[in-house]
Copies of this chain bind each other. A is one copy, B any other.
Amino acid sequence: MSINKVSILKSVDQNTFEGLKGYTSLAVIVDENTKRDCYPIVKDLLPEHLLIEVVSGEENKNLQTCQHIWHELTNAGFDRKAAVLDLGGGVIGDMGGFCASTYKRGVDFWQMPTTLLSQVDASVGGKLGIDFGKLKNHIGVFRIPDMVLVYPEFIKTLPQNELRSGFAEVIKHCLIADADHWKTVSAKPLTEQDLTTIIPHSINIKDGVVTSDPTEKGLRKILNYGHTIGHAIESYLLDIPGRKLLHGEAIAIGMIAEAYLSVKFTGLKEEELKEIQEYILSVYGKVEILESDLEHLYAYLLQDKKNSGKKLSFSLLSKIGDCTFDQFIEWNEIEEAIRYYIAL
């Protein structure tokens, strides 16, 4: 049985938010984008609520914005039997969920993810938190949302680059757990993908993994494939003018570099690496990473939450559709893998 309560919606109507009626108060957290594109679709279906608006963007997923949210809940007199609905992408979900989980030691919260990335990834599994300085998700908690409502229609409001960012997690889910689905997906460009199929498929894979290991003691680590190097790149480029990447764009690079490591350490075939790299480059193109970036990336890698002591922990592919975890790799090997990407 799944620990995640996920409902995939073909439409939204009077019954969609029935479960929110029993709370003493309700807050809906949005950013300027979801306020414009998504909130109008659900506004009249929701029980009476307080609308809390935050500014979009990973750079605002911090303690300062949390304080704004906690202040709004406090000023409106929200008690422990209140609830929060996060209407947005990963930033709103992670941060709104963290704020709800810590307000008066925790009130219920629902996630209504509005991006492909958050629908197939962030909303499932209960990882909540905020960035701290430049460290991603450095402060947070594990807590499963009381409900996750996935409405694929929202995806239509997304800019193309956001859609592409989320698609990286779809690719990852195929690579770590479903070789057949990888064949289907990798046969088509992003524009021709069938979202109504790939969204539930991706959620299913993540749900299965997370349910078997909610707090990432073991198997759940396979979801980190592409993320050790990807996160370091994402964090480092976050506030370098003109070089900022979306999450999935960074993970795409990470998946190629970590596929290279997989060939070296866990038995992925050379031709599988080529297949992965060709498809990813066809969707994401090539991002310029410089020699001089390497030392900075090393500093970020050392802060990775998955490390144990001084060892750098990776989840690597043994073949397409199968992933191992707890692979501890030295920096010189990692450097070589990033240089492999640079040289493509």
Residues of A at the B interface (CB closer than 8 Å) are 24, 63, 67, 70, 74, 77, 79-81, 101-106, 127-129, 132-133, 135, 137-142, 302-303, 305-309
Contact = CB atoms under 8 A, between A and B. Distances in A.
A154 B132 CA distance: 36
A129 B104 CA distance: 9
A303 B74 contact: yes
B104 A141 contact: no
A308 B129 contact: no
Contact of A104 (B74, B104, B305): B305
Contact of A142 (B106, B306, B309): B106
Contacts of A303: 74, 77
Given A74-B132, A138-B104, A308 B67 contact: no
A284 B307 CA distance: 52
Contact of A302 (B77, B106, B137, B138): B77
A138 B70 contact: yes
Nearest to A313: B79
B308 A105 contact: no
Contacts of A105: 127-129, 137, 140-142, 305
Given A63-B63, A303-B77, A139 B309 contact: no
A140 B104 CA distance: 6
A105 B133 CA distance: 16
B135 A307 contact: no
Contacts of A132: 70, 74
Contacts of A80: 305-308
Contact of A308 (B24, B70, B103, B128): B24
B308 A79 contact: yes
Nearest to A24: B309
Question: Which 8 pairs show the lowest CB-CB distances between chains A and B?
Answer: A104-B305, A24-B309, A105-B140, A79-B307, A102-B139, A81-B308, A105-B142, A79-B308
A192 B142 CA distance: 46
A79 B309 CA distance: 6
A235 to B, nearest CB: 13
Contacts of A141: 101-102, 105-106, 141
B24 A102 contact: no
A106 B67 CA distance: 20
Contacts of A127: 105
A195 B135 CA distance: 46
A127 B106 CA distance: 11
A142 B106 CA distance: 8
17 contacts: A63-B63, A70-B138, A74-B303, A77-B302, A80-B306, A81-B309, A102-B129, A102-B139, A102-B140, A103-B138, A103-B139, A104-B140, A104-B305, A105-B127, A105-B141, A106-B142, A141-B141
Contacts of A307: 79-80
A63 B102 CA distance: 12
A201 B58 CA distance: 50
Contacts of A103: 138-139
Q: Could you say which of A79, A133, A137, A141 has the most chain B C-beta atoms within 10 Å of its C-beta? A: A79
B135 A74 contact: yes
